[in-house]
Amino acid sequence: MNNRKIVVFTDLDGTLLDHVTYSFCEAEDALELLREKEVPLILCSSKSSDEIKVYRRKLSNNEPFISENGGAIFIPEGYGNLKCEFNKIDDGYLVIEIGSEYKTLANAFEKIKRRTGINIKSIIELTIDEIVELTGLSREEASLSQKREYTLPFIIDSGEEDIKNIKDEILSSGLNYTEGTRFVHLMGGNDKGKAVNILIDIFKKNFPETSITTVGLGDSLNDLPMLEVVDKAFLVKKEAGDYEERIKVEGLVYADGIGPAGWNKAVLGLFNNN
Ligand SMILES: [Mg+2]
């Protein structure tokens, strides 16, 4: 790393990827600029690690990434000769585990369902056809989306009051939840902000001579913790053309565009101003 370095953390669904088509073509100019300037682009998504690996390949991205709403950090072995503590090596990545074990979440989910009697369905219980119908993902990606390790996404087919009851029940069972663009996510103590902070710390410890400016881009409530910990936070418009109003962060910049179009303008603007 040089003496000054920008590191960009981005959400995928509805932010870098179009909410409906999952395309990032509207962000190509900014992506190219990041490649030119050798700015690390860290994908930080609620998606499973296997799903994110698909997008790393599509984006020719070789950087670390954060899966399942901060459930785990994956650092490619040998990346920048980084030294850090990690929990395991998996598929060529050093894995730092932050989230709860999947089995704990699955057991808690069943208990919550039984206790409340409310119709909730986890992503594991949905058929591939149902996931495709609900998300517009390809069948292959729908199948990868079920490979959960640290969080359990689910849907509530019910009214406001039931949604509140489920959320109360989750909190009283000592777990947590957040909301992405389509699913509610049952999880432990992880969030995107904690994971981003851990990775920033690793960068800072390994490159003490480098002044690192962090940038974050998101669209939904699950991005709030990430936007709170970065130096420059951007919120893109949601598919309906409005901003997530529950995201309030000091200095937040409202990107002028929906998803990847807003992402493109925000990232290009970052360098015009420098
Ligand atoms: Mg999103």
Q: What single string gives the DSSP state of each residue in 81-92?
A: G-----SEEETT
What is the predicted pLDDT for the residue at 2?
Answer: 57
Distance 46 CA to ligand 1 centre (A): 8
Distance 208 CA to ligand 1 centre (A): 32
Q: What single string gives the DSSP state of each residue in 70-134?
A: GTEEEEETTGGG-----SEEETTEEEEE-SPPHHHHHHHHHHHHHHH---EEETTTS-HHHHHHH
**Residue 264 is encoded by which pair of tokens?**
């493109």
Distance 9 CA to ligand 1 centre (A): 12
Distance 220 CA to ligand 1 centre (A): 5
Say what angle helices 160-172 and 102-116 make with each other, to 10 degrees. Answer: 130
- Cα(61)–Cα(46) distance, integer angstroms: 18
Measuring CA to CA, which residue among 42, 27, 93, 72 is closest to residue 194? 72
Tally of CB atoms within 10 A around 248: 11
What is the predicted pLDDT for the residue at 179?
Answer: 87
State the virtual CA torsion across 99, 197, 41, 53 in degrees, nearest 10. Answer: -10
**Residue 98 is encoded by which pair of tokens?**
């932050």
Asked about 157 being catalytic, the answer comes back as no
**Using CA of residue 249, residue 163, residue 243, residue 214, what is the dihedral sign?**
positive
Instruction: Please tell me the pTM assigned to this model.
Output: 0.94
Domains with residue ranges and CATH for the chain: 4-98+191-272 (3.40.50.1000), 102-187 (3.30.980.20)
Residue 27 · residue 59 · CB < 8 Å: no
Averaged over successive runs of 10 residues, the pLDDT of the chain (274 residues) comes to 86 97 97 96 97 97 97 97 96 97 96 94 96 95 96 91 93 92 92 98 95 97 97 97 96 98 97 66
Q: How far apart are the first and last CA of the chain?
A: 18
In the block, residue with structure tokens 């109003």 = 245
Residue 48 · residue 88 · CB < 8 Å: no
Distance 181 CA to ligand 1 centre (A): 5
- Tell me whether strands 211-218 and 232-237 are parallel, antiparallel or unpaired: parallel
**Residue 12 is encoded by which pair of tokens?**
């995928």
- Cα(142)–Cα(127) distance, integer angstroms: 9
Measuring CA to CA, which residue among 37, 38, 47, 62 is closest to residue 17? 47
Q: Which one of 11, 18, 191, 219 is the catalytic residue? A: 11
